[in-house]
Structure 1
C-alpha cells in the first residue's frame, strides 16, 4: 500500500471499507477527493458560517464533541491551508482549556437551510483566549443526504448557561433523543503516527425523527445509512470504540452531550467488528450496520445553543 493511501485512510477505515465492499473505489477516489487544502468554494463556505462543530481529545485523550458560534466572519480562511476560528462563543463547556498547539481536531461546517456541509481535519498551530488557528490536513465535502432542513433564529437566552451532569438518561433525554432528526458524533484514532488520517473527527448523522432509538437497557441504537463509502466514523470506532454525541434541542435552545462506549453490530446482531458485513441487507438505504451506544456520562447544557427554530 502506498504512503499516499495510508495518509488518506487509517487501518480502521480500510478494514470497514473492505468489509463493506468500497475499498477498491476508495483507493481510487480517496487521494483525489480528500485534499490537504481547501478549494475556494470551501473557504468561502466556512467564512459564511455562524456555527461550526468540533471534535477533539482532552488531556486524558478522551474524545469530545462541541460547537462554536459567531456572526458571519467569525471563521476566516487566511489561506487555502488555514482556518482561524473565534472561540469566544461556545456551548458553555469551557472546552478551550483542553485545546493546545499540536492538537488534532475535526471540524464540521453545516448549513441547515441549504443542506451543505464540509469537513476539515487539522492541527492547531496557534491559540489564544480568543481564537484557534488550524492547519488543514484533510479537506473534503459531504453530500446533503439525511440533512433535515431548518430555519433558525437567534436564541435570546443563549449564554445564560447552566449545566447538569448525570450517568443515566431522564425521560426528557429520552424524548429529545427519540424525536431528534440529527446528531453529531465525534470519534478519533491515533496510533502515534504523524499521518494526516490520524486524530479526531466529527460528523453529522441524520434521518427522520426517531432514527435513534433507546432499548430497555438504556442504550442508544442507530442504523448506519448508505453514504459516501468512506466510513470515517465507523473506522475510528472499529479501532477506538468510544464516542461523544451531541443532540440539539432546537425548540428550547439546549444541548444534550453523551459520552458513550460503542459496539458495532452487523445484521446478525453479533457485536464483532469482524462480522460487520454478515447478513442480507434488505433496506437499500441502510448499510446493514447498527451502532450501539452505552451511556457513560451525560451533560445537559441549558441555553448552550445560540439558535432556535420557530
Structure 2
C-alpha cells in the first residue's frame, strides 16, 4: 500500500460533496489548496491574533468549541508546521486536563475587521499548564464570505466567571441566538485511520442577524450558505451528528455554549414537522440542544461601537 494515494477528504466529506455535486472539483482543488504546512503569511496572521477559536474532544469523545485569548504574540509559530498557543486566558471552560498528546484539535483564526480567516487542523505534540504545541496536518484559508465586521475593546469584567447550565433554551438564550450574526461549530469524526484528513474541526458560521432561527420544538435552524464546497463540517456531522455550538454575545461579554445533535436537511427530504430557516438554499442544518451552558464575562473583548 506504499503507493496508495490518500484523498484530501474523508468518507463523510466525499459523500456530501457527491450529493452537492462538488466532488470532481474538490478532487482537483483539495491537494492544491489544503497544505501540510503554513505559508509565511498564515504564520504571521496567527501570531498577530488576540483570539483563536478551538475545537477539541474530551476523553469521552464529546466535541467542544471554545476560544482562547491573549495579547498579540500569545500564539507563536516556531516552524512552518507548528503553532504554540498560550492557554492561560480562556473563557473558563477550556479544561486542559481534557487534552493529551496525540489528540486532534481544530483551530480557526479570524480578523473581524479585515475579514481574513485561516484554519488549522492538527495534532497536539506537547501540552502543559501554560502552552499547547500543535503540529499542522491541514492548513488552508477561507474566503471572507459571511464574516460580519467588528471592532473590539477589552472587557473589563473578563474572568469574573459565573456559569449557568440548563437542558432547554430560556427566553434569554433564545434572544442571544436570535440576535447573533456569528457562531462557531466544533465537530469531529474518527474512523480509526491516522491519515491527515481525520480528527476535529471548528468552523465559523455567519450571516445577517436572524440567520439562526428557533422552531417550536426548540431546535436551531441554519441555512447552509454556498461556501468553498469542502463540506468539512457537514462531512463530520454526516458521520457523527454530535457537535458543539459557541455563541459569543459581543455586547455583554457572555458566552453561550450548546451541545447538540445535528441533522442535515436536504430540500428533497424536508419533513413537515421541521420548519426550515428562511432562504432558498439546497440544504439546512437542524440542531437539537442536549446541554446548554452560559459563561458570564467569558469574553476578553467586547464589541466597540
Q: 1:4 to 1:36 in 2, by over 3 A?
A: farther
Q: Is the 8 A contact 1:148 1:207 kept in 2?
A: yes
Unmatched 5+ stretches in structure 2: 272-278
Counterpart for residue 307 of structure 1: 301
Match of 2:171?
171
Q: Shift of residue 22 of structure 1?
A: 0.5
Question: Secondary structure in 2 aligned to 1:17?
Answer: helix
Q: Report Cα offsets for 1:190-223 as digits up to 9, x if no partner.
A: 0110011111000000000000000000000000
Within-5 A mapping of 1:248-263: 248-263=248-263
**Residues 58 and 99 in structure 2, CA contact (< 8 A), matched pair in contact too:** yes
CA-to-aligned-CA distance 1:157-213 (integer Å, 9 cap, x gap): 000001011101010110110110010000011011001111100000000000000
For residues 3 and 69 of structure 1, the distance between their equivalents in structure 2, rounded to whole angstroms, comes to: 41
Measure the CA separation in 2 of the matches of 1:4 and 1:60: 32
Distance 2:4 2:116 in 1: 31
Normalised by the length of structure 2, the TM-score is 0.95
Kept in 2: contact 1:5–1:30 (CA 8 A): no
1 CA distance for matches of 2:39 and 2:241?
Answer: 32
Q: Could you tell me how far 1:309 is from its partner in structure 2?
A: 1.0
C-alpha distance in 2 between matches for 1:54 and 1:96:
12
Tell me how far apart the structure 2 counterparts of residues 97 and 108 of structure 1 sit (CA, whole Å).
22
TM-align CA RMSD: 1.2
Counterpart of 2:268 in structure 1 is 268
Change (3 A) 1:294 1:27: same
* Count of matched residue pairs: 295
Paired position in structure 2 for 1:233: 233
Q: Determine the C-alpha separation between the residues in 2 that align with 1:51 and 1:136.
A: 18
Structure 1 unaligned blocks of 5 or more: 272-281
State the 1:270 CA deviation: 3.7
**Native 8 Å contact 2:82 2:134 kept in 1:** yes
* Contact 2:66 2:94 (8 Å CA) reproduced: no
Q: 1:172 to 1:25 in 2, by over 3 A?
A: same
Question: What is the Cα deviation at residue 4 of structure 1?
Answer: 4.0
